Amino acid sequence: MTNEYQILLTLASIHWIALMSPGPDFALVIQNATRYGRTTGIYIALGLSFGILIHSILSLTGISLIVHTHPVWFALIQIAGGSYLAWLGLSTLNSLYQRRKVRHQPETQPPASLCLDNHKQAFSKGFLTNLLNPKALVFFISLMSSLIPADFSASGKMLALVILWGLSFFWFAILAWLLSGQRLQNKLQAAAVYIDGLCGVIFSVLGLMIGYHAFTSLT
């Protein structure tokens, strides 16, 4: 049991470091917490954490490994994930361009295609962004296969899932909370256009790179 606790501690440490690394999830929280405030940012965080939970379950049960070892299946997942990220990025950039063309539109009004009408939409956006990220699939396969032995207890596996989900939600929720403080929010709103533009570029470049890699792997 002591050995299992050590494994779980190592798992939590590696996952925590990975969470703090900049990526699509990080950018999504920054963009939406800046634009729409604390509650929307927390629902984005909840969606991201459930995406991570699904990846963790699939990796722990070996399903993700099966997909990863079939090049065509994995390439199709990469294409789907890359397309979604590219769509997020390009729609953001297009909305910013359209808003710039309409000179009389107030600067504080967000682009129409970026609006999150409700909490369900915010959750879905976070969930899909993480779930369709093929890099997350590879990361959790590597993490689980290298740390979790075949004879790991069922209670240990359940605890691992709770830790991975809990740390994910905690980190992204704290990030959304900090970014949506009133004083910081006033400053970030002035730079919201630039934040949207940067996030749009990040999503577009990552999505196109993932899609290109997937297409080349099939040829």
Handedness of CA 171, 77, 158, 143 (dihedral sign): negative
Is the pLDDT at 39 greater than 60? The verdict is: yes
Give domain status of residue 14, yes or no. Answer: no
Give domain status of residue 101, yes or no. Answer: yes
36 token code pair: 């729409």
Give domain status of residue 199, yes or no. Answer: yes
Predicted pLDDT at 53: 95
Give domain status of residue 12, yes or no. Answer: no
**CA–CA distance, 203 with 206 (Å, rounded to integer):** 5
**Percentage of the chain exceeding pLDDT 70:** 84
Give domain status of residue 51, yes or no. Answer: yes
Question: What burial class does residue 163 get, using C-beta atoms within 10 Å of its C-beta: 0-12 exposed, 13-18 middle, 19+ buried?
Answer: middle
Going by pLDDT thresholds of 50, 70 and 90, the confidence category of residue 173 is very high
Domain count, the chain: 1
Give domain status of residue 21, yes or no. Answer: no
Is the pLDDT at 133 greater than 60? The verdict is: yes
The candidate with the shortest Cα–Cα distance to 199, out of 52, 25, 40, is: 25
Contacts of 25 (CB under 8 A, 6+ apart): 19, 48, 126, 129, 130, 133, 172
Domain encompassing residue 132: 38-218
Locus of tokens 């909490």: 119
Give domain status of residue 82, yes or no. Answer: yes
Q: 105: helix, coil or strand?
A: coil
- This prediction has a pTM of 0.77
Query: In sequence order, what DSSP letters do the residues of 51-99 get, joined into one string?
Result: HHHHHHHHHHTTHHHHHHTSHHHHHHHHHHHHHHHHHHHHHHHHHHHHH
Give domain status of residue 10, yes or no. Answer: no
